[in-house]
Amino acid sequence: MRSGALGAAAPWFALAALVAALDRAAKAAVLATLAPGEAVPLTGFFNLVLVFNRGAAFGLLAGASGWQTEFFAGVAAAVSAAIAWLLVRHSGERLFSAALALVLGGALGNLWDRLAWGYVVDFLDFHAGGWHWPAFNLADAAITTGAGLLILDGLLPRRDAAPD
């Protein structure tokens, strides 16, 4: 790997680090303020609530016997390594790299939780008409935003593509 390629990817790694740091700070504030399960209504459709998620998105496998923590941590570590490689290889592709940086930052934020506590701290609770979206965190929001941007990037025409 050329050092120039790594240097060109530095802003994207900085964005990923910023996402992970903001996620950590938000989770620390919620952990210091709320008791598990406690909800603080902020609007008619949004609460802060402290939830510990031992599973994946939407609590998938949360009730498993414990093996899922190591499994999801391993997946997050492998995906993070793959994304880091892609960032170095494609650092000049701004939308693609921004999307990957958001996913990387979110993955690292949730990986930290799994390694430190064995679960992910969730605290954002949106609801309407008695229905609650599963609680999530800033890392999850970054991952979702990054995934959406990756889809958008895939739909946009490539500048280097030859005209039909």
CA distances in angstroms from 139 to 72, 85, 150, 152, listed in the order given: 15, 20, 16, 20
User: Is 3 part of a structural domain of the chain?
Assistant: no
Residue 74 lies in a domain: yes
Q: Is residue 67 assigned to a domain?
A: yes
Q: Is pTM, for the whole model, over 0.85?
A: yes
Query: Residue 81: which domain range?
Result: 9-155
Q: Are 16 and 89 in contact (CB under 8 A)?
A: no
Domain assignment of residue 138, yes or no: yes
147: exposed, middle or buried (Cβ count in 10 Å: 0-12, 13-18, 19+): middle
Residue 27 resides in a domain: yes
Residue 146, C-beta contacts closer than 8 angstroms, at least 6 positions apart:
98, 99, 100, 101, 102, 103, 104, 106
Query: How confident is the model at residue 47, as a pLDDT?
Result: 96
Dihedral angle computed from the Cα positions of residues 66, 68, 69 and 71, in that order, rounded to the nearest 10 degrees: 140
Does any domain span residue 164? no
Structural domain contains residue 60? yes
State residue 164's pLDDT score: 44
- Residue 76 placed within a domain: yes
Give the residue numbers annotated as catalytic, written as ranges. 122, 140
pLDDT tens for the 164 residues of the chain, in order: 556 777 899 999 999 999 999 999 999 999 999 999 999 999 999 999 999 987 666 555 555 556 766 787 888 899 999 999 999 999 999 999 999 999 999 999 999 998 999 889 999 999 999 898 999 999 999 999 999 999 999 999 987 644 44
Residue 95 is encoded by which pair of tokens?
A: 């939308």
Q: Total structural domains in the chain? A: 1
